[in-house]
Structure 1
C-alpha cells in the first residue's frame, strides 16, 4: 500500500465524516496546503524539475491539492536549498507545510521539525505567521483541536489578512464543537480568498454542520466551479456526493462519485480513494453490497484510513460475512495504532467499532478522557460517546450526549437514530418512535446495519397507545453533569454575507 495522503486535517473526519466524523472520514477536503504567505521563493534546482516545482508551489499557495510527483519535486528542491541556506526560516516553513501536505503520518515528525526550526530562526513574536499556521495545521491533522485553535488564533493575529489561518481556525473550531466560531472563520476566509475552492469547500462544511442543507449544497457546487485542476475538481465532486448521500439520495451520490473518479488522474491513486470509498457507501445503500465491498477494498488499497476499514467492516457484517468484518476490524485497530505512533489520535473512529464489538467501556473511557475532558466536544464526539454509553448499559447517562449531538449537529440520520435507540432503551416510547422515524426520513439507507435496526425497533415499538405517549419529550430524564443543554444554532448570516 502507498503512504496515506491526507490533504485536509479532519475533520473530519470532520469536515467525515461520515460526518463531520463521517464526512471527515470519507471526504478529502482541500488541505491546509499553501500556508506560505511571506515565504520566499528560492529558484528551482535544475531546469528539468523547475516546472513541476513552480506548479506545486502555485497550487500550495492557492490552497489546492498537489499531485504526488509535483509535491515530491517541491520537497526535494526545498531540502536541497536548505542544505545550502540553513537559516532561511521562510523556506523551513514552506518545507514543513509540504511534508504535511503529503499526508503520510510518518512525515508529521519531519513537518514538525521543519516548522519548529522556522520558528526558532524567526520566533512567533516577530511575526512568523507561516510557521504558526503550519503548526496549527499539523495540530489539526493530529486531532489536537485545542492546539490548532491556539496556533490559528496566533497566526490570524500576526497576519490578519492571511486566509490560511482562517482555514486552520475553521477546522479547529469545528473539532471543538464551536460551530458559530467555525462559521465566522469560514466567512472571513471567503472574504479574504473569495475565489478559492478550498474556502468554498469549507463553507459547505460549515453550513452543513449548522443544518443549512441548501446553503451547503450550493456552496459545494460553487466549489466545483472554482476548481483549477482535475485533482481539485475530483475532491470537490466527492464532497457533492457526500452531501447527496447524507440527504438520502444515494443514486445522486453515486453519480457524483463516478464523475469524481473520471476527473481524478488515474495515476493519483490516493487522490481517488475518498471517491472510491464514497461510491462504495452509495452502492451499499442501493443494495449492491458485493460491489460495495470491492469498492472499499480498492479505497483501502489506495489509502488505508481507519474510517474506510470501519465502513468496510459494517458492509461485510451486513452481508453476513463475519470473517471479513473481523479482518477489517483488525485492520482498523492496526491503522489507528500505526497513526498513534505519529501523534494522530484515532480514538473517535476506534470507539465506533469498539462500542458494537465488546469494547464499549473502553470506548467510553477513551472518548471521555482523551476528547471530552480536553473540551473536544463536537457533536460527533457527543454522538459516539452517547452510543458507547448505551452499549455499555448506561442508557440514562447516554441520553444527554445524544441530545447534544442531535440538536447541535448537522441533520444527519446517524445521531438521530442513536438518540431514538437510547430512548427506546429507557422506555421513552414516544420520543424513540419519533426519532427513529426521523432518522429513516432523513436517509432511509444511512447505514447498512443501523437502518435495518431502526426499522426493527419501530416494529417493536408499534403504534402509540390511545391518547398519545405519556412523555413525548423525554423530560423525565435529567441532564448529566458537565453536559449543558443544547443551545439554538443562532440566526443565519445576512444574505449578502452568504452570497
Structure 2
C-alpha cells in the first residue's frame, strides 16, 4: 500500500522526535525523516553511556532507529529499536514518550493493533502529546477505522498544527474522496514547511495526488520541485520514474529506477522496477525483492499485503489469497480489501471477490487501481454489474487509456 512507507521529523513536547512509519504499508503521511538521523543517534548513544537511566533518551534512540529502517530500507534497525525501547520500558514503562516509541515500532512492523493499544496508553498518560495521536491516526487508518483515525488527526492538529498533522489530514480527506480538501491540507503543510526536507516531502505528496488524478504533467512538476528542494529525497525520484513509465518513456524510467533502488531498495520500488522492465520487453528480476522479503521477516515485519499484491499480479494467485486473507484479518482497511478482492478474482472466484471490491471503493477514494479492480470483478460477473461501479471507474477495456494509470503497471498506482 503506502509502506508504510521520508525529512525533518517534528520535535514535540519532551524533545520526542516523531517518526511513526511503516515500511510498505500506505502511511498516513508522517513527517519526513531528518537527514541527520544517524549522527543524532550516535550523539544519543554517547549521552546514554553517561546517563543510562535516561528513559526518554532511550525512547528517542529507539525512534531514530525506527526512522532509519525506513530511510535506509534496512529492517535490521527495527531490532536495534526494539532493544532501545525495551530498555526505556524497563526504566519507565508508563511514560508517554516510551509508549509512543513502542507504538511507532509496532506500526513499523505492521502490528497495528498493538500500535493502537500503546498509543492509547500514551494519550491517556499525556493527553497533550501530539506524537501519540499521530501514531494512533496511522494505526487506526491501517485497521480500517477511518472515523477513529480522523478524530486522532483532528486532535493532533489542535495540539500541533504543522506538516505532520496537515499531511495526515490530507490523507484522511483523500480516503474520503475529497481531492480538493486533500490538496488544501497539503498546501497548508507546504505553507508551514521551512526545511528543504519538509518542502520535498509535501511536494512529493502533491505529486502523488496529481498522479492519481491522471495529471502527469503536474505530477512531474511537483516531483521535480521536491528534488529541487532536497536532491536526496528518493521518493520524489521514484515519482519521476512513475511519470516517465506511465508516459511511455520506459528507458528513462528504468534508468531512474536503477538509481532509486540503489538508494532505497524497498519492495514497492523493486516491484515498480520489475513491472516497468517487463513493460519494456525485458525480463523482470525479482531476486532482490525476495531477499528484501527475507530481511523484513527476520526483523519482525509482517507484510502480507505486499506479497498478496505481488503474487496476484506476478506469481501464484492461491498464495495471493492466503496472504490477502491473513492481511485482511489483521488490518481490514480499504487497500487490504482490494488486495483480497483482486487475489480472489485472479484465483477465479469473482463472486467471492465482489464484497471486498465494493468495500475497497466504498468511501469515494479516487484510487484508479481499486476502481479498475472492481470493474474487472463486476465485468466477470456479468449482468450489467460493471455499471454499478463508481462513475469514474472505467471498464477493463478502456481503463488502461486513462492518463496516470496503466493496468500493466499496477504497482505504480499503489500509494507509496
TM-score by length of 2: 0.88
Partners of 1:59 and 1:385 lie apart in 2 by 29
Structure 2 partner of 1:227 = 193
How far residue 442 of structure 1 moved from its aligned partner, in angstroms, is 11
Could you list the runs of 5+ residues in structure 2 that have no partner in the other structure?
A: 21-29, 411-416
Q: How does 1:97-496 map to 2 (within 5 A)?
A: 97-103=63-69, 104-124=74-94, 128-194=95-161, 196-264=162-230, 266=231, 268=232, 272-321=233-282, 323=283, 325=284, 327=285, 329-369=286-326, 371-374=327-330, 376-408=331-363, 410-431=365-386, 438-439=393-394, 444-450=402-408
Contact 1:314 1:449 in 2 (8 A): no
How far residue 106 of structure 1 moved from its aligned partner, in angstroms, is 0.9
Partners of 1:181 and 1:58 lie apart in 2 by 20
Contact 2:374 2:389 in 1 (8 A): no
Q: How does 1:59-70 map to 2 (within 5 A)?
A: 65-68=32-35, 70=36
Partners of 1:58 and 1:156 lie apart in 2 by 14
Partners of 2:201 and 2:165 lie apart in 1 by 13
Contact 1:306 1:335 in 2 (8 A): yes
Contact 1:413 1:443 in 2 (8 A): no
Partners of 2:387 and 2:193 lie apart in 1 by 43
Higher relative contact order structure (alpha carbons within 8 Å, sequence separation ≥ 6): 2
Distance 1:240 1:188, change over 3 A: same
Q: Deviations over 1:448-472 (max 9, x none)?
A: 33589xxxxxxxxxxxxxxxxxxxx
Contact 1:35 1:97 in 2 (8 A): no
Contact 1:237 1:257 in 2 (8 A): yes
How far residue 432 of structure 1 moved from its aligned partner, in angstroms, is 5.6
Distance 1:380 1:357, change over 3 A: same
Partners of 1:252 and 1:417 lie apart in 2 by 23
How far residue 334 of structure 1 moved from its aligned partner, in angstroms, is 2.1
Contact 1:148 1:172 in 2 (8 A): yes
Structure 2 partner of 1:12 = 2
Contact 1:137 1:168 in 2 (8 A): yes
Partners of 2:390 and 2:400 lie apart in 1 by 10
How far residue 394 of structure 1 moved from its aligned partner, in angstroms, is 1.2
How far residue 263 of structure 1 moved from its aligned partner, in angstroms, is 0.8
How far residue 386 of structure 1 moved from its aligned partner, in angstroms, is 0.5
Partners of 1:451 and 1:434 lie apart in 2 by 22
Contact 1:190 1:200 in 2 (8 A): yes
Contact 2:371 2:389 in 1 (8 A): no
Partners of 1:160 and 1:206 lie apart in 2 by 22
User: Of residues 42, 48, 71 in structure 2, which corresponds to 1:82?
Assistant: 48
Distance 1:437 1:210, change over 3 A: closer
Which structure has the greater CA radius of gyration?
A: 1
Q: Deviations over 1:372-407 (max 9, x none)?
A: 222x01100000110011111111111111010011
Partners of 1:442 and 1:213 lie apart in 2 by 21
Distance 1:313 1:449, change over 3 A: farther
The RMSD of aligned alpha carbons is: 2.6
| SS of residue matched to 2:14 | coil
Partners of 2:380 and 2:213 lie apart in 1 by 27
How far residue 408 of structure 1 moved from its aligned partner, in angstroms, is 3.1
| Count of equivalent residues | 394
Distance 1:432 1:350, change over 3 A: farther
Contact 2:279 2:408 in 1 (8 A): no
Partners of 2:290 and 2:351 lie apart in 1 by 29
